A = this chain, B = another copy of it.
């Protein structure tokens, strides 16, 4: 079968259509799959708006199937020990190239960048918003918890958080980061932003033992405050109430002005994870005192992008644990379920959005 419905854009020009496309079956594949839920995020919207210059269509094609945050069902699969027909799986977004990091399954740390790697639904590889998918088992991560349901669609965004904590684990070894009792009790983690990735960072931070605060430059909705409260996360409108004495700072905004304002609140030996990107954010004058602040306090600033298969596995495990502990909060993470034909969700965020997903089946 090759004629099927898909949500496509024309990268990097943009636009979006739910339409019939001709996608031939590949010569080799282990499994045939179909989407159950697919989340959308700023990347999808950026592509549709034509704002992501790095996005491009697969070679020789004039369209790109969208969708990278997928939960799929296995419809057919060759004999193997890992997955079987009917299983729910999450597919890897980035596929390996030939560099030294790619060849050990760490294409998230690709030494070369494009063209060494491809990201499904973003750079040269069709995404998952189409009726029929083919893939190899090594790129599929099984959902083990039968009670997780559609929450598993958060695996892809959460995997980034798991990798960022791996980076934190490595770089924080440069001094003793932990407290005098060997724990993180009383250590403060601040997350800039209050979108879905910020929530996932905050939940993972609580799991690690941090005292976690999410911040934004406005007050938050009752719904979001309640979810934070359930996980033991606090919130600050930083225009009114600027957090101080930060040990771990995570940015999901990509805005230099905000990032550097908060860096000057970071403690000695503090770690800053840069995760959010916003290529259009205006310049902020970083001066000699800012550099001096970072140097004198042995502060580490680490960019972190994408994640490896192990982080998808960890993400699924955390989702499962959170879902048992806080089922209401987790259900509230998915604020809107669209039909594939509702392509307007790529242009306009549904009101109160945390995560909008497309229910495919």
Interface of A with B (CB < 8 Å)? 82, 100-101, 103-106, 108-113, 138, 145, 166-167, 170-171, 173-176, 178-185, 207, 209, 251, 254-256, 259-260, 267-269, 274-292, 294-305, 308-310, 313, 317, 320-321, 324-325
Contacts and interface: CB of A to CB of B under 8 A. Distances in A.
Given A182-B310, A302-B174, A310-B182, A291 B138 contact: no
A242 to B, nearest CB: 20
A309 B110 contact: no
Contacts of A321: 321, 324-325
B254 A292 contact: yes
Given A170-B171, A182-B309, 19 more contacts: A100-B178, A101-B176, A104-B104, A104-B176, A106-B175, A106-B176, A108-B298, A109-B268, A170-B174, A171-B300, A254-B291, A256-B290, A274-B295, A277-B288, A277-B291, A278-B291, A282-B287, A300-B303, A320-B325
Contact of A301 (B103, B105, B301): B301
Contacts of A299: 302-303
Contact of A101 (B175, B260, B302): B175
A110 to B, nearest CB: 6
A292 B95 CA distance: 21
A209 B142 CA distance: 12
Contact of A175 (B109, B259, B295, B320): B109
Contacts of A255: 288, 291
